Amino acid sequence: MAHPASLVYGKPNYDQAVAFVKHSGQAFAFDPTQWIQSLGNDGGSNIRTLTDGAQVLAGLVFHPTAQWYGGSRLTCQVIASVFSAAEARRQKLGYKVMLHGLRETRAQGMPLAALYATTPAFYRALGFEPAGHRLFWKVPMHHLPTVSEGAQFRPTGPHEQAILHELYGRYAKANAGLIDRTEHFWRYHLNPYDGSTLYAYRIDFGDSLEGYVSLRHARANRILTVQDAVVTTPRSARALLTFLSHHQSVADAVIFPDAPQGSLHKLIATNGARFEPTCDEWLLRIVHVPAALEQRGYPLLDARFEIEVDDPAMPENTGRLIFEITRGHARVREGGDGRLRLDVRALAAIYTGFAHPLEMAASGLVDGSESDLALFGAVFAGPRPTLLDSF
């Protein structure tokens, strides 16, 4: 392997981008042809590689987006396709490319980074912690409600993207963790890269657009698969389920995404809803602690903490902060006695509302008085963090 000092991090040239995509295809077992064809002559501008000056040794993909927490939109770097070359693993190249990527993210002023992990241990060492779920529920068709309450179901799709963005934005803002989908993420729900067909329908009540669903044809196994489901009112949730029930001549069961405490599965009165085993956890990394604390939304309460954050991978986050919330508005400044001590991983899990400080204290990642722990939990409480997207 090249000497660590000679490793170069940055945007790849075209040949390096092609090498990146091939490595990625090998690592994640997909055919790279389509991706290679879509690379511009300058290489993929969202790809980052670690090279020895020529050969690609490790890499990742950035999808700059945002997440909502407490009704506030925070910029978030979604990171995907992380790999190190098969011939160069366990030489800290994956760690290095990730750390470069996180520092670049911080330099761009983005306070958060999120990803799904094949290898949580690898990401924990980089300051990530499981911080939310992406869940699918499977229900036999005959358990679905069948009352549409005057809803109109109309085909929709990429031609109405602006309207669907607005609907989804309303839904995401009221929840926690959902990403502000870019064109790239919308494609998965309306117009997939692999050319497969999705059928999307909007759910209106008179002039009011209250939900939408996109789904795949029932497969040979008679299971209807919902790709995306967004509902903003209880009646649109009931209507969406009713719309799905209209497929029972071709499907025996439906699989749909819904938050851990989402409205869709709760509306199924019988005990038919079951977790799909494909439930995923996603991980969050607080890339810039003061910015993340200040930009988040909070309940309309007052609180004051003197915290000490420990961040072994990014020591620029380590230190003491006074974190004050006044009527839900946060202010952070350096100082204080650090009497509430948090590992940056614990902060990530608490920040999204995924874990309570007491749970993190049980793992030794938080230490503080009972009253500080209870109040810290209260300020981050909110809807259970979830994602509808994969990356």
Binding site for ligand COA (CB under 6 A): 27, 82-84, 89-95, 117-119, 121-122, 125
Judged by beta carbon, residue 92 or residue 274, the one nearer ligand COA is 92
Pairing type for strands 72-84 and 112-116 reads parallel
Nearest one of 109, 115, 49 to 83, comparing CA atoms: 49
Smallest distance from ligand COA to CB 119, Å: 4
Q: Which residue is nearest to ligand COA (CB)?
A: 94
CB 143 within 8 A of CB 270: yes
Residue 71 dihedral angles phi and psi, to the nearest 5° = 80, 0
Judged by beta carbon, residue 122 or residue 205, the one nearer ligand COA is 122
For 183, counting Cβ atoms within 10 Å of its Cβ (0-12 exposed, 13-18 middle, 19+ buried), the class is exposed
Judged by beta carbon, residue 93 or residue 293, the one nearer ligand COA is 93
Judged by beta carbon, residue 82 or residue 213, the one nearer ligand COA is 82
Smallest distance from ligand COA to CB 10, Å: 18
Judged by beta carbon, residue 82 or residue 244, the one nearer ligand COA is 82
Smallest distance from ligand COA to CB 276, Å: 20
Residue 353 — left, alpha, or beta (φ > 0 → left; ψ -120 to 50 → alpha)? left
CB 97 within 8 A of CB 122: no
Smallest distance from ligand COA to CB 353, Å: 23
> With the C-alpha atoms ordered 379, 382, 386, 391, is the resulting torsion angle positive or negative?
negative
Judged by beta carbon, residue 332 or residue 349, the one nearer ligand COA is 349
Judged by beta carbon, residue 1 or residue 374, the one nearer ligand COA is 1
Smallest distance from ligand COA to CB 327, Å: 40
CA-CA-CA-CA dihedral for 66, 226, 133, 279, to nearest 10 = -140
Smallest distance from ligand COA to CB 90, Å: 4
Smallest distance from ligand COA to CB 84, Å: 3
Helices (H), 201-262: 234-245
Does residue 273 sit in helix, strand or coil?
coil
Both tokens of 229, joined, read 């489901």
